[in-house]
Structure 1
């Protein structure tokens, strides 16, 4: 019987095709996963763009609606202030504010359901546009609180002064709503970023 060690049934070279196949499969799998990741990323980017456009269009519709509501209160308060002297003569100083108090209290009921449901996604917009949108809605809430203070003003002269401030703020916010609506439309259309602009004039600081 031979005492030489038995020759290995298989040599390394015999495994080369298998190793090549395994490596090739691994590379293919990794490449496929990378391609899938790339496609998923592209899909995510498209989805983000679509979500941003839907958000922009929805906010633009809501802001235009808010602007129309502010126009209604603007006309009411403007007409009221323009007829103060007549009201005093006809109704007497004790109750000449009651009609306007009744109308103005409904300003606090203006609602912003789209913005409230989308606060966590505002960042999908341009950075500056996001800031402008957030500031617009924050100013609206401040004006709603101020309208409550105006309605509860105990003296007619205080009510008159606050109604004047309310009117100027509504006029300013109405113009701001027009500008933001235009910027939201530009965003939805994919227009170039319009850049910074001067902020609107605010009238509540000395009263809030």
Structure 2
């Protein structure tokens, strides 16, 4: 994890040791801290909601099974089975939305890792001028990506593709919303 300079900023009182590199590392540290803090705050809520939807899915399945056992005795105009199916589909759509949030969290974690690794290289006054150290940094960053879209985006930009085109190339992943839940709800 990125460690910011121990003395903090020196822009108000620069001395002979003042360095724009140290100030850059400090600012990168702020970015990493803000992203990680936001992820921690949202992670607890996401876990609670995910558990809630898992419990709801289990109860919906139990309710459906119980209703099918006594289905002959229920008035057809209540349309209980179709209502249960509708609730289940809404639950599935909610879980899919959480999967996208989980994916966003993974990407933000990778952003923090990239910024930390970059700051580490830039803070080494010798290594920052060596092309093979930059290549090693690029390999290290790419190896941490878990999603193919991240790898495509990374490779395209390193090959000189404009950022907007690289984003288009990486595309958007759309998850199927109509898949029925089977057992546990699993986030990425």
Q: TM-score range by the shorter chain?
A: 0.3 to 0.5
TM-score calculated relative to the size of structure 2: 0.43
TM-score calculated relative to the size of structure 1: 0.39
The structure number with the bigger radius of gyration is: 1
